[in-house]
Each structure stands twice: as C-alpha cells, then as structure tokens.
C-alpha cells in the first residue's frame, strides 16, 4: 500500500509539470507484455532493448544473467533503466517459473521453427517475449517451454536481425495492437501510485536525507 502522505510530501520537491508528465506516461504503461532477455553477450544489445521497452511503454523487463554476468550499460540505455522495472535472474528456469506464476504465456522469438509471423500474432493473454543470444538464439529450455513462436517476416538473404532491432520492431507492432484492442492492459490504480512514488523519489536529489527528515517529523 502506497503511503499517500509521503507521496504528497515528496511531490512538493518536484515541479507540477514533472508530476503531470509522470501521470501522463503512467497512463500508457503496461505489464500485459513483458520482455525476457536470455544471456545476451553484447552489453549494448541488452541496454537497447530496455530502451525500447521504455519507449513503447513496457513496464517490466527480465534479464537472465546465467553465462555472461550483468548485461546492462546505463550509457546506452540512456536512463531508461530508471523508468523500467528490471528483474534479474540467475537462470532461465527461475525466469520461466516466475513468469508462469504471474500468468504469462511464453513466446519465443525465433526465425526458425514453425513460427507465427508478427502480423498474424494476436495478443489474447499476458505475453512474455523471449529474446536470445546474438549467435545461438534462445536456449533449448526456452524453446521447449514456449507456448508459441514468433518471427518477423524477412525477404532478403539474411535470416535474422540484431536482437535490439528485433525487439523494437516487435514491441512497436504489438503496442499498436494493444492500443486498438479492448484488452485491459493498463496498470492498476495501485500500480500507478507505486510507480508515481518510485519515480518521484528518483527525481529528487538528496532523497535519503529528505526521507529521513520526513520520518523524523512524522
């Protein structure tokens, strides 16, 4: 439960315009779609995917860091990691299990297999889009666990796109589909308040000192 008194107190430290911008952006945020990035080697690819999530209103992203360690470059993400909730996993199994428990269908993005073309894919339930490593693609564990497969139509000699490009194309397409659908994809009121408080905290310098003062006065 969000402390509304605290939120009101902290909002006095930011401009009205900034608060209104937060509210505006939160109206376009969704958890109906999420992204899972499995063991991507190039730092800039993970960071660019997070940036695309932020641009297209995807509130949560999952990063599996089993083989290569932390894969997020803040310079390339350009601050997007402040506004997207990033969940880190030490194994693919843990990530899959959490997403299933949260009610997501697992969709593996791959140019191979009997994949559904992007233009034919319909969002009918909460969807977790899995993206794999640059050379090897997704692990067999994800492919075996997937509820479906998705690919971008291509007409050239090249079989695949860079992961960050693929993510941007897919997210933009599915975002437009959400906007024109009757699916209940918005954040709940409680989720919006939670993020409003979080973003307000991140916008205030010396937030630790301010929070300490608030709790002392309280």
CA distance 88 to 86: 6
Residue 155 lies inside a defined structural domain of this protein? yes
Identify the pLDDT of residue 134. 66
Same domain, 47 and 110: yes
- Residue 148: which domain range? 30-185
* Predicted TM-score (pTM) above 0.85: yes
Rounded mean pLDDT of the chain? Answer: 89
The count of structural domains within the chain is: 2
C-alpha separations of 67 from 38, 106, 129, 146, 183 in Å: 9, 21, 20, 21, 37
Tracing tokens 């843990």 back to the chain, one arrives at: 94
Report residue 189's pLDDT band, with 50, 70 and 90 as the boundaries: very high
Same domain, 23 and 98: no
> For the segment 10-68, what is each residue's pLDDT rounded down to a tens digit?
999 999 999 999 999 999 999 999 999 987 766 778 888 999 999 999 999 999 986 54
Same domain, 42 and 99: yes
Residue 5 lies inside a defined structural domain of this protein? yes
Query: What CATH number does residue 81 fall under?
Result: 3.40.1280.10
Same domain, 100 and 52: yes
Residue 218 lies inside a defined structural domain of this protein? no
CA distance 74 to 78: 6
Closest listed residue to residue 172, CA positions, set 72, 56, 63: 56
Q: Using the CB atoms, write b or e for 142-151: b if 16+ within 10 Å.
A: bbebbeebbb
Same domain, 135 and 194: no
């Amino acid at each position: 439960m969000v402390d509304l008194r605290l939120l009101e107190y902290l909002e006095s430290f930011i401009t009205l315009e900034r608060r209104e911008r937060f509210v505006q952006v939160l109206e376009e945020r969704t958890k109906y779609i999420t992204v899972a990035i499995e063991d991507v080697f190039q730092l800039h690819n993970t960071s660019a995917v997070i940036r695309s999530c932020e641009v297209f209103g995807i509130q949560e992203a999952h990063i599996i860091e089993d083989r290569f360690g932390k894969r997020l470059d803040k310079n390339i993400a350009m601050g997007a990691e402040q506004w997207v909730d990033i969940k880190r996993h030490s194994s693919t199994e843990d990530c899959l299990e959490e997403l299933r428990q949260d009610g997501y269908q697992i969709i593996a993005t791959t140019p191979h297999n009997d994949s559904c073309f992007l233009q034919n894919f319909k969002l009918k339930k909460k969807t977790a889009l899995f993206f794999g490593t640059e050379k090897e693609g997704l692990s067999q564990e994800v492919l075996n666990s997937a509820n479906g497969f998705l690919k971008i139509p291509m007409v050239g000699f090249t079989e695949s796109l860079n992961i960050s490009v693929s993510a941007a194309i897919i997210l933009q397409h599915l975002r437009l589909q959400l906007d024109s659908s009757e699916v209940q994809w918005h954040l709940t009121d409680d989720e919006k308040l939670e993020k409003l408080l979080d973003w307000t905290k991140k916008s205030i310098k010396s937030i630790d000192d301010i929070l300490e003062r608030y709790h002392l006065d309280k």
